[in-house]
């Protein structure tokens, strides 16, 4: 197997961090079109499209952590997985990989950290 560097992709307040495998206990929740983050201030969503896209969730305490798997078949067939949001440039994550979905947090010294939302 060809080794490659761990890939990190970002679109606004959403990031995709490549991981080597799905964590134990992650459950499949969606395939195909999947919303990675709902827009709270603009109403626009970060949506990952592609027939070989699967989204998984894993409960970590009170938080749900999402993972997406993009099938290698998308690379082989020339099809694309697209991460879209109307206010950001479209991102094309490579297939044959698994990504942890990251959310950006805002740090304020006088309060608890809070999620940034488009």
Q: Is the pLDDT of residue 118 over 60?
A: no
In a domain, residue 115? The reply is no
In a domain, residue 2? The reply is no
Q: Is 33:48 a contact under the CB 8 Å cutoff? A: yes
In a domain, residue 89? The reply is yes
pLDDT grade for 79, boundaries at 50, 70 and 90? low
In a domain, residue 118? The reply is no
In a domain, residue 114? The reply is no
- The model carries a pTM of 0.79
Kindly report the number of other CB atoms within 10 A of residue 87's CB atom.
11
In a domain, residue 98? The reply is yes
Number of domains in the chain: 1
In a domain, residue 23? The reply is yes
Q: Is 50:74 a contact under the CB 8 Å cutoff? A: yes
In a domain, residue 116? The reply is no
Q: Is the pLDDT of residue 71 over 70?
A: yes
| Torsion from C-alpha of 107, 109, 112, 117, nearest 10 degrees | -30
Q: Which domain holds residue 62?
A: 8-103
Higher pLDDT pick, 27 / 88: 27
């Amino acid at each position: 197997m060809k080794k490659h560097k761990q890939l990190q992709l970002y679109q606004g307040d959403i990031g995709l961090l490549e991981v080597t495998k799905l964590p134990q206990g992650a459950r499949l929740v969606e395939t195909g079109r999947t919303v990675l983050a709902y827009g709270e201030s603009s109403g626009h969503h970060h949506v990952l499209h592609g027939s070989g896209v699967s989204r998984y969730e894993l409960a970590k305490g009170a938080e749900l952590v999402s993972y997406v798997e993009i099938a290698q078949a998308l690379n082989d067939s020339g099809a694309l997985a697209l991460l879209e949001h109307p206010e950001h440039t479209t991102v094309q994550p490579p297939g044959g990989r698994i990504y942890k979905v990251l959310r950006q947090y805002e740090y304020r010294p006088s309060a608890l950290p809070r999620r940034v939302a488009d």
